[in-house]
C-alpha cells in the first residue's frame, strides 16, 4: 500500500509523468543532502516535512503530498516574427 495515496499525489501534480519526474529530482536532492551533510558544500535544501520515511523517494512523495514540493512550469516565450 502506497502512503501517501496515489490519488493525493496525482491531485498535486496533475499527471503521472510530472509526479515521477518531480519525485525523482527531489529524491536525488534529498540523497545529496544526506550524503554531504556536515561538509558545508553549497546550498542544499533539507527535508521539508517530518517523516518516518528512510528512503529519499518515500520522503519526496511525503513532501509532494504535503504540498511542500510543487511542480513549476517555465513560461513559454512568445516570439514575434515582425521586427520593431
- Asked if residue 13 lies in contact with residue 6, where contact means CB atoms within 8 angstroms, the answer is no
List of residues 6+ apart from 78 with CB closer than 8 A: none
Per residue in 50-79, pLDDT (tens digit) is: 888 788 898 999 999 999 988 888 887 777
- Using one digit for the tens of pLDDT, what is the confidence trace for 8-36? 999 999 899 999 999 999 999 888 888 88
Asked whether 73 and 14 are in contact (CB, 8 A), the reply is no
Residue 7 pLDDT class (50, 70, 90 cuts): very high
Q: What is the pLDDT of residue 38?
A: 63
Amino acid at each position: 500500500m502506497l502512503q501517501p495515496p496515489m490519488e493525493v499525489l496525482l491531485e498535486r501534480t496533475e499527471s503521472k509523468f510530472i509526479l515521477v519526474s518531480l519525485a525523482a529530482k527531489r529524491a536525488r536532492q534529498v540523497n545529496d543532502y544526506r550524503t554531504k551533510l556536515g561538509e558545508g558544500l553549497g546550498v542544499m535544501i533539507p527535508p521539508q516535512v517530518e517523516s518516518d520515511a528512510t528512503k529519499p523517494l518515500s520522503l519526496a512523495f511525503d513532501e509532494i503530498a504535503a504540498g511542500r514540493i510543487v511542480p513549476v512550469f517555465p513560461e513559454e516565450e512568445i516570439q514575434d516574427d515582425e521586427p520593431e
